[in-house]
Amino acid sequence: MRTVSLEELVRHVTTLDNGEIRIVASGNFATPRTTLAPLLAAFERVRFHALNLQPGLDLHDGVVPETCFVGPGARRNPRLAYVPARLSTVPTLFSTALHPDVVVVHTTTPRDGKVSLGLEVNILPAAIEAARARGAVVVAQMNPRMPWTFGDAEIDLDLIDLGVDVDEPLASHRARAPGDDAAVIGARVAEHVRDNSTLQAGIGEVPDAVVARLTDRRGLRIWTEMFSDGVLALERQGVLDTDVEIVTSFVFGSDELYAWLDRNPRVRLRRTEVTNAPAVIAQQPGMTSVNTALQVDLFDQANASRINARIYSGFGGQTDFTVGATHSPGGQSFMALRSWHPRADVSTIVPLVDEPVTSFQHSAVVTEQGLARLTGRSEKEQAANLIQYAAHPDVRDELWEEAGALGLA
């Protein structure tokens, strides 16, 4: 690796311009903004691939934000190129359909011939490998504030072409206290999380509320795509099995969480094709998956991706963990959501979703109204449970009528 200034980096990378290049970068809360800003500005046309991009980067008219999971920084961009893919399959795309010309990762400063990817491993090792295989450029934004994490996060300096020293504050996030409905839903799900289970909780207020209600459990394990401060709270309260590593693919949260992560041997960040592989998830004892959605229909099909045909997020890891959990010995897959969407002012339990399906065949659907058990029930029993226990009372009569029209009553 050769350390260069930002100006030298831009001069070097712009020699690669062949009409439209693809830059793959760390996403979520690890986006290397200081390095990306001048790089994106230097190209007239560029595809910029990052997962769950947050606001703050200037995406000029020549930048096509490309992603397999849409974040708020690209959600309403008219040039958005959404690539549908379950997160476990995204890494293979870099060696097949989405060849990177430049990979920009946000890392620690070097130690003993390595850097660490810190807060986000995710799809990045596969992007680096694909870049090395085709002679593309790998760039590290080296930040002394980035916590050193272990596992697949550690990258040999030989795999990096150019490094830029940047002292940039890390983006942080502190979840709000859950609202009343979310707290009720969290408590309902938590009742069914057994001691010694393995936990995955997705992103959002409801999964956060579930984690917050697990303080009286013991021997829990964490195998997840991501986690935030809730896992730190479980660790400090003695909930987690201290003989088992905490496994995730990326992290975001508070500065306190980042300090705890730094050189913590309890935590292992693994690449997405490991954390999200359904076959590996299925090997985790009592795998308990908690995710949320925008809609669930009477056939137990969940839409977590689109609103009125417009992409909102994407498959993410929901499909991977739903499938993996239902194949785990003693595993459970919970779909947890409010029965009524407060902004759209509509029921989230619908007769039939008219958007692409994100996941299906959950163990139970949980709302503030109750818990609808689905596993092992006939399709008519599933529909009846969803109407009776999960749907808002204001729409139950309408749902019964629609269930009849669908042959479910």
* pLDDT band for position 312 (cuts 50, 70, 90): very high
What mean pLDDT is predicted for residues 34-45? 96
What pLDDT does 201 receive?
84
* pLDDT band for position 285 (cuts 50, 70, 90): very high
pLDDT of 16 higher than 90 = no
What pLDDT does 205 receive?
86
Q: Which residue out of 66, 154, 205, 225 is catalytically annotated?
A: 225
Given a contact cutoff of 8 angstroms between Cβ atoms, the answer to whether 115 and 153 are in contact is no
What mean pLDDT is predicted for residues 106-116? 98
What pLDDT does 350 receive?
98
Domains 2-165 and 180-405 belong to one CATH topology: yes
Closest CA to 288 of 167, 189, 183: 189
In whole angstroms, what is the distance from residue 214 CA to residue 193 CA?
8
Phi/psi of residue 201, nearest 5 degrees: -125, 130
pLDDT of 126 higher than 90 = yes
Give the chain's count of helices (H) and strands (E): 13, 29
Phi/psi of residue 382, nearest 5 degrees: -60, -50
What pLDDT does 259 receive?
97
What mean pLDDT is predicted for residues 96-111? 97
Q: Map out the domains of the chain as residue ranges.
A: 2-165, 180-405
The two tokens of residue 366 are 């949980």
pLDDT of 175 higher than 90 = no
Question: Which residues are bridge partners to 240 per DSSP?
Answer: 220
What pLDDT does 21 receive?
94
In whole angstroms, what is the distance from residue 60 CA to residue 83 CA?
20
* pLDDT band for position 206 (cuts 50, 70, 90): confident
89: DSSP letter: G
The continuous run of DSSP H or E covering 41 comes out as helix 33-42
What pLDDT does 178 receive?
85
Listing DSSP states for 121-168 in one string gives -BTHHHHHHHHHHTT-EEEEEE-TTSPP-EETTEEEGGG-SEEEE---
In whole angstroms, what is the distance from residue 54 CA to residue 73 CA?
4
Given a contact cutoff of 8 angstroms between Cβ atoms, the answer to whether 15 and 42 are in contact is no
Classify 370 as helix, strand or coil: strand
| pLDDT, averaged across the chain | 95
Neighbours of 36 (CB within 10 A): 22
Q: Residues for the chain: how many in total?
A: 409
> Looking at the domain 180-405, which fold is it?
Glutaconate Coenzyme A-transferase (3.40.1080)
pLDDT of 362 higher than 90 = yes
The correct answer on CATH 2.40.30.60 for the domain covering 2-165 is no
Active site residue 225: yes
